[in-house]
Structures are given as C-alpha cells and as structure tokens.
Amino acid sequence: MARTALTFTLNDAEAAVFVDPGANLIDVLRRGVGDLSPKQGCAQGSCGACTVLIDGVPHLACLTLAETVEGRRVETSGGLADGPDLHPLQKAFMEGFAAQCGFCTAGMLMAARALLDRVPNPSREEVIEAISGNLCRCTGYEPIVDAILAAAQEMQGNRRMMR
Amino acid sequence: MLTVETYANMAEAAGAVGDRARYLGGGTLVMQGVNYGDQSFDRVVRCREVDRDIRSESGGIRIGAGATMADILASHEVEFLHQVARRIGGPAIRNMATVGGNLFAQNPYGDLTTALLALDAQVLRIGSGPEPIESFLSGRSRPRGLVEAVVVPRVSSGEFRFAKVSRVKPKGASTLCLAVWLRGGGRPSDPRIAWGNMGPTPLRAKAAERALNGASLDEAGIAPVLAVATDGLDPQDDALASAWYRREVAAVHLKRLLLRQGVR
C-alpha cells in the first residue's frame, strides 16, 4: 500500500509523517504524530470533538483528508498552553467548571479560540453560534459559554495591561 | 483498498472521475464514507486547483464548485443565499462544505441545493454546456463528469425566501426545508417553490407554483397554493420524521414562509 509523505506545521513545530491512503487528519494527529489532544467522537461531522484550526480556521479533523494539510498550519488544543502557563481559555474552563467528562473540551477550546481571534469581545449569541457545531453531553453548555466570555474579558484585560 | 489520486487541475481530475470514484470537495460527505468503510467507491479523486470564486457574469452569478458555505457568507454578490448558508452545519462544517458537494448530498442534507433548485440555477460540468439544475438532479446518481460551477440569477433578498425545519437549533439536519423565489415581488410571476427532504432529491412543487402565479400574498390568496402544497412530492420515512408527518406539516411551513409568520 503506497503511503504518502506529509509535512505540515503543528502548533508552531514542523511535523513529518507517512500517511495511508484515505487517512483522516484526526488519526494522523493522534497516532501518526502523537498529539492526543484532539478527540475523535462521531467521525461523521456531528460532534465537533475533533475541531482543529487549519490556517487559523476551524475544521473537523475527522472529515479532513490528512494529505490536504500538506504545507499548512494546524493548531490543536495541545498547543494552547505556554509551558506551565495555561491559555486564558483553559484557565476559564477550569475555574468555571466548563469541563466535566472532558471529551468535548479540546474541540470547544479550538472553536472558542477561533472566535476570540476574530472577535475579541464577543456577545453571548456570538459565543453560542461559534460553538454550535460542538456537542457537550455533560454541562448543558452554560458554563462553557460563561467560561468563553470570561476568557475574552481576561484576554482584553491582558491586552490593556500590555499597552 | 482505497486509493487517493491527486490531479493538478480540474480537467485532469474530470478525466479520472467515474464508476467506483468519488471526487473530494470539502470532505464532509466523502470522508464520512471513507471513515465508515463505504464500499460503493474505492478511489478518491482530488485536485490541487480549487475554484472558490463567486463573481458576477453576464448570465448571472457564477459560484465555483469549490466555494464553501463560509465563502457564500463572505460574498455580497450572493447575499440572498446567506440565509441558507447560515443554517448549514456549525462554523467548522461551513468552512469545509462546498457548493459542488452539496449538489450530491443525500437526505437529510442538501439545503443549499434546494435553494439552487428554487432559483433555476444552471450546473456547469467540465467539458459540457450548462444544464438546468432540475435535470441535473434527476440524473445525479449516474456519474457524468465533474461539476465546475453553478450559475444563479441575480435576485433581491426580498423575493427569495428560505426556511429550514429542524429539531435541533441552531444546528441540526433538516426535517424538511423549502425555498421560494417570488419572481416579481408583489404578485409573483412564474414563481418557484422547491422542497428538500420531500423526495429522493430536492423537488419542485409545480402544482403549487402554478397556483402561486399571480396570487396575492395573503391568507385568501395563498389558500389554493396550500391546497396543492405537496402534490408531486414523494417524502420518505427516516429517523428524523415519517413521510406522513412531513406531508402533514409541509403546508404549514409554506404558509408561514409566504406570509412571513414566525419564520427564522
């Protein structure tokens, strides 16, 4: 079986891996390069657990043919923290009890990250829309929405302090 | 065993599609099949050149087959389609799912195609002339080459209406959806009514279209339209709803759309 050589950027580091024909990105991330942060849920685009950013835009890794990310920039929740310092979104999720079983969390974080990159001060409605493709069966969503809004505030505060 | 073939341009890729092959657009449909071991194909054909362009031409607005739902939402040319694209999937799906792929989406998907059917869109395939979408849909199960673009007429937002009925909001698959092109505004002239999930492919309700021609958009005016709302449609039972339910509620949703009652 002919395998294809694939190189891409994963959370600011170069990744190189051989992929099987038809392999999806979630398998390649988890098994090929060992980034276990994105989860595979439904493998059909319904749950959003595998949400990653490709060139800064949310994509479902389970429905992405791995070889289409050749030369592109892939970001997962595994790259959010800066060493021991959690990203404000991760901190807000932890402090606001926005993760219970945790299976949706990696996808939620990346969907939220893409929103805050684009809209630093989102409304509650914009947050709900941004995570509308991500299912959570534990929290009832409210703590997640609150955590994203809290992180947005925190990040705005940080930006003000840096000025 | 699955193979993936990558071509430099659309013309080369068009030569490679055929029996046992699927063309990979955004991946939302084809990769589902790959993940679940769909045995109806064993070749995935893809192309490095992707046409995502949406532009005005003399014959209307040309939408490249590779344009995503997010591309539609970012384009002022097709503002009337924003109400449709916004209701498809969540943000990640909208960044991936393409116009070309939607033309081949099986129930319960294909909301955009229902809208394109109501707009009398033309489908352009590599190496052949434009084909009316209605005839394209009736033959879509047979492999007939690669779609490169669709062309839609320029329509003002007021004369094109779309409704999606789903059990999960804001994101959920259609129980049914419907699109209406009220050509001419006030009293529609030669209007179009198209339904999604009311047959094996999106279908036009031609009896209802005839009844709507020249009708006034009020309770009395549309009563004859509602009486024949589901004539010629062929809804099926599925996990979302029964055929019976779909027939029962179709006219209610058509009425709400035509009278703009509580439509979101």
The domain tally of chain A equals: 2
Whether residue A93 sits in one domain with residue A65: no
Q: Please give the residue range of the domain that contains residue A31.
A: 4-79
Whether residue A72 sits in one domain with residue A103: no
Structure tokens that stand for A5 in this block: 């050589």
Residue A46: closest C-alpha in chain B: B89
Spatial neighbors of B215 by CB under 8 A, at least 6 apart, are: B187, B188, B221, B222, B224, B225
Residue B54, pLDDT score: 98
Overall average pLDDT of the A127-145 stretch:
96
Determine contact, residues A21/B4, Cβ cutoff 8 Å: yes
Residue A17, pLDDT score: 98
Half-sphere exposure of A49 (CA within 13 A, CB side): 17
Amino acid sitting at position A152: A
Whether residue A56 sits in one domain with residue A26: yes
CATH number where A40 lies: 3.10.20.30
Percentage, residues of chain A above pLDDT 90: 94
Count the neighbouring beta carbons within 10 Å of the beta carbon of residue A94.
Answer: 13
Inter-chain residue contact B31 with A68, CB threshold 8 Å: no
Residue B264, pLDDT score: 46
- Return the DSSP state at B98: B
Whether residue A70 sits in one domain with residue A12: yes
Give the residue carrying structure tokens 């932890």.
A94
Residue A121, pLDDT score: 97
Count the neighbouring beta carbons within 10 Å of the beta carbon of residue B44.
Answer: 22
Q: Pseudo-torsion of CA A103, A108, A111, A115, nearest 10°?
A: -170
* Closest CA–CA distance from residue A21 to any residue of chain B (Å): 6
DSSP assignment of B136-152, as one string? HHHTTTS----EEEEEE
- Mean residue pLDDT across chain A: 96
Residue B156, pLDDT score: 87
Inter-chain residue contact A21 with B4, CB threshold 8 Å: yes
Whether residue A144 sits in one domain with residue A114: yes
Inter-chain residue contact B35 with A43, CB threshold 8 Å: yes
Inter-chain residue contact B32 with A64, CB threshold 8 Å: no
∠ CA B5-B7-B12, nearest 5°, is: 115
Suggest the residue from A18, A27, A46, A69 to mutate for an interface test with chain B (most B CBs closer than 10 A): A46
CA proximity to B41, closest of B22, B62, B69:
B22
Structure tokens that stand for B188 in this block: 């529609």
Whether residue A95 sits in one domain with residue A47: no
Q: How far apart are CA B69 and CA B52, in angstroms?
A: 10
Q: Domain end: A53, A79, A105, which one?
A: A79
Residue A45, pLDDT score: 94
Count the neighbouring beta carbons within 10 Å of the beta carbon of residue A64.
Answer: 25
Whether residue A158 sits in one domain with residue A100: yes
Whether residue A93 sits in one domain with residue A75: no
Whether residue A52 sits in one domain with residue A72: yes
Whether residue A111 sits in one domain with residue A52: no
What digits encode the pLDDT tens for the residues B95-139? 999 999 999 999 999 999 999 999 999 999 998 889 999 999 999
Spatial neighbors of B110 by CB under 8 A, at least 6 apart, are: B102, B103, B196, B197, B201, B202
CATH number where A92 lies: 1.10.150.120
Spatial neighbors of B75 by CB under 8 A, at least 6 apart, are: B54
Interface predicted TM-score of the whole assembly (ipTM), two decimals: 0.95
Q: Domain end: A79, A108, A126, which one?
A: A79
Whether residue A140 sits in one domain with residue A73: no
Residue A19, pLDDT score: 97
Q: Domain end: A17, A49, A79, which one?
A: A79
Nearest CB to B34: which of A22, A114, A128? A22
Whether residue A106 sits in one domain with residue A61: no
Question: What stretches in chain B show pLDDT beneath 70?
Answer: 185, 262-264
Inter-chain residue contact B95 with A59, CB threshold 8 Å: yes
Residue B211, pLDDT score: 98
What residue ranges define each of the domains in chain B, with the CATH number in brackets?
Answer: 3-47 (no CATH), 54-152 (3.30.465.10), 159-259 (3.30.390.50)
